Every structure is written in structure tokens, then in C-alpha cells.
Homo-oligomer: A and B are copies of this chain.
Amino acid sequence: MITIHAIGGYSQIGKNMTAVQWKDEIVILDCGFWMEKVISFENGSASELELSELYRLGIVADDKEFRRKYGNMVKAIIPSHAHLDHVGAIPAMASNYRGAPVIGTPFTIEVLNSLMKDKGKKIKNKLVKLNAGSSYQVSKNILVEFVYATHSTLQTVMIALHTPDGIVLYANDWKFDEYPSLGRRTDYDALRKLTPVKVLISDTTRIGRESKTHSESIVKDMLRDVLLWTENKENLVLITTYASHIARVNMIVDFAHEMKRQPLVLGRSLANYIDAAENCGLVDISGKAKVCGWKHQIVKELKRAMKNRGNYLLIVTGNQGEPNAVLSRMATHEFPFEFRKDDQVIFCSEVIPAPINMANRAYIEKNLKNQSVRIFKDIHVSGHASREDHRDLINILKPKHYVPTHGGINKIAKAVELAMEMGYDLGKNVHILQDGQKLEIK
């Protein structure tokens, strides 16, 4: 019998935390923040909070009951990738599972290290780097295998747990991208070898979107037109995107050189993620661009850029309009910078649909317009699978049981709808779990 413990991520989009149990061996998959709470309530400084505060604010999953009953059976904590809603709570929570190593891809582990260094936290758990395509025996009866998956950050994996009662495939955040700008395609061969899996646990983030998610290569085409084919010779060109989306940052840096402009990468979290990626030998952005994480450096570079607007392409933090990010500080003159008529600001992102983001973005866009800046938005494709991608994954894996995760009841209902279309029965082989519930599969 396999037991799925839905600790977090089944009642909202965030604080992902699932445990898979075979007899007295348990593996925890992901351990993240609820980002909406982080942003709304705490202005982004959640990492400095004590665990008791994180519980109280609902920023992390409530694992207290689980820990009391099953804590000593936990053999490993395995984050699927480096996004904070999957990895963010590890510094605060992993210590409570003493013997359990944290196992992740090299980039994920580097980001985790960087998180802890930044906040002065340190866990005692062993950190294990495991490459996609490799396996690791976490306990007597459970073997973990990492399957490469494309997503909007580097070295994301689907996690296959081989148990005596079959395979649990945990695919929490993935897309099918045949032409990624960096890295490889999702490892279809590995997936086909796992077929049929016993249980598929898969995210529902964008399962409500019809069709198929487009390739990141489309962002490249969009950027090409906006950067190379707009009347912008004399103007400043500035792009803001997700700091963790290293593949995209790298692509933008290359565009800068094609435009004969010097790329300036400005912002603390950008510098951190680039650092982690370079430590793993995945990119060499700092060899091609000036990367500045500290305020005094940023200010200095902005002054230079103002003098020769046509010579630079700026890549900065602040795509959601976060008040503390570089773009906002430039727009509000907190940094000594003046935009000029027809300067170009490109949002290489979409607004993450939470009220705080919508308000922040609306504010900064109005602000920039008042300064006569030209705005280009939604130069972006998602890192998440759409409905037809999900159908393809299910068709490939032919899971006996399907457990949608990473969403509230409304999102999960969409997954159930798809599953029923494909012949699954609710309650029999497609299951709705809520945070705090568990499911036993014979």
C-alpha cells in the first residue's frame, strides 16, 4: 500500500508539501512558501521569520500533526526545483526532520545554499546533489529517480519514487517545450520507461487553459521584434523578467550584444540566481554582462546608462511592480535616474494574478506612462503545462491513479474534469485531496 499525505498545496496555489509513504518509509516532496502571503503580508522578507510566525501567517504548510505521527519515518526531503513555492520553507522546516537529507539537482541545491547564506540560516540536514537522469536509494525500499523536465527555471525534475507497490511520479511544475532556449527537452524516453505508473501527482496551475503551452522560443521571436525592430536607437532599453528564469536572462544578454549594446544586469535576486547557475557551470552570464547585486553598484551603472542611453540594455528586477525592486526605485527616483520620452520598458513576464501584484503593476505602468515611456507587455510564455499537455502526459504515463495538486478545489476540479473525459472515475482513480488529508492506495 502506498499512502499519499497531502500536507500542503492541495487547498491553494502554494506551500507545496507532499509526503509519500510505503510502510514505514517516507519521502517528503517539496517544502515551499505560499508566495501570495509572502508578498502581501510581509513585503518579501519571509525568509527572516521564525517558523512559528510562518505557521501563524499561513506562509508554510502545517506539518505539525504529520510530523508528530510520522516525522521519524522521513528518509529524505526532495524539492523538485528552485522556485520558492517548492523550496522556500526548507531552511525553516528541514531541521525538524533531522536524519533526512535534502536531495535536489545541483542548481536547486545551490539556490538553497544561497537562500540560507543570504538570511544567515543554516540547516544541519545533509545536502545531496543528484542530476536529472540519475537515481538514489533513499531507503531500503524506495529508490528516487530524477527525470528532466522543462520549466521556467533551470534543472527542474519530475521525481519518480520506485516502491515495491509501483511507481509514484511527482510532476509538480513542468511544461513540454521542444525548443527551450537553454537546457533540453523533457525526457520523454525516461517517462515512457516508467509506464504505467501507479500514481501520478501533477500540478494544476494552468490546467484550465485550453490548447498547449507555447515554447520559450516564441519569447525569442517576440523579443527580436521588440528589440531590433522598434524605433529605439537613441533611447534606453530596459527589460524586466523573473530572476529565476536564467535561460531567459541569458537570451536577453545575447540580444544585447546583437544590438551592440552593453548588457547591465541589476538587482539582488538576479545576481543570486546567476551566481547559483554559474556555480553549476550552466551559463556564463557574468562573462558577457555586467551583473550588479548591490545598491552602490546599481546606482553607479544607472548614472553611466543615463549619459549614453543608446549604448546599454538594462535587465532589472521588478517585473511584478514590486516596490523594492530596481525598476520601481528607478521609476520613483529613489535611485538617481530619469526616464526620457520614448525610452522603452519591456515586461518579459505576465502579472501573477493576485491583487497585490495587479495593484503594483498598475501603479508602475501609470508612473512610467506619465514619464512618456513606451511600454511593451506580456513578452512571455508560461512555464506551466496547459490542458492538452496534461492530456499528453497522462496518455504517456497511463497512471492507475491520478492526484492533482498545486491548486484549490476550483483548479483541481478542472483536472478532474479532464480525467473524467479520459475515462477516470472520481473517487476511484482520480482523487481530490485537501491539505491535511491522506489517501491510501492498495
Contact = CB atoms under 8 A, between A and B. Distances in A.
A215 interface: yes
A130 interface: no
A116 interface: no
Given A212-B230, A221-B215, A363-B356, A388 B374 contact: yes
Report the interface size class on chain A: 35 or more
A358 B353 CA distance: 12
Contacts of A420: 409, 434
Contacts of A413: 409-410, 412-413
Given A358-B358, A359-B358, A426-B432, A226 B210 contact: no
Contact of A355 (B217, B362, B409): B362
A417 interface: yes
A14 B100 CA distance: 52
B377 A40 contact: no
Interface stretch (A78-86, A89-97, A389-397): A389-397
Contact of A218 (B222, B376, B392, B414): B222
Contact of A410 (B210, B218, B417): B417
A94 B436 CA distance: 46
A278 to B, nearest CB: 29
A40 to B, nearest CB: 6
Contacts of A409: 413, 416-417, 420
A102 B306 CA distance: 48
A376 B5 CA distance: 35
Copies in the complex: 4
A50 interface: no
Main secondary structure of the interface of A (DSSP, over half): helix
Interface in A333-358: 355-356, 358
A372 interface: yes
A121 to B, nearest CB: 27
Interface string A408-430: 11101110110011000111000
A210 B211 CA distance: 24
Interface string A361-382: 1110010001010111111000
Interface of A: 40, 58, 176, 178-179, 210-212, 214-215, 217-218, 221-222, 224-226, 228-231, 355-356, 358-363, 366, 370, 372, 374-379, 388, 391-392, 395-396, 408-410, 412-414, 416-417, 420-421, 425-427, 432, 434, 437
Shortest 10 CB-CB contacts between residues of A and residues of B: A359-B359, A355-B362, A413-B413, A211-B376, A355-B359, A409-B413, A178-B229, A231-B392, A218-B221, A409-B417
Given A230-B388, A356-B359, A420-B434, 7 more contacts: A40-B363, A210-B376, A211-B377, A231-B395, A358-B359, A374-B388, A409-B413
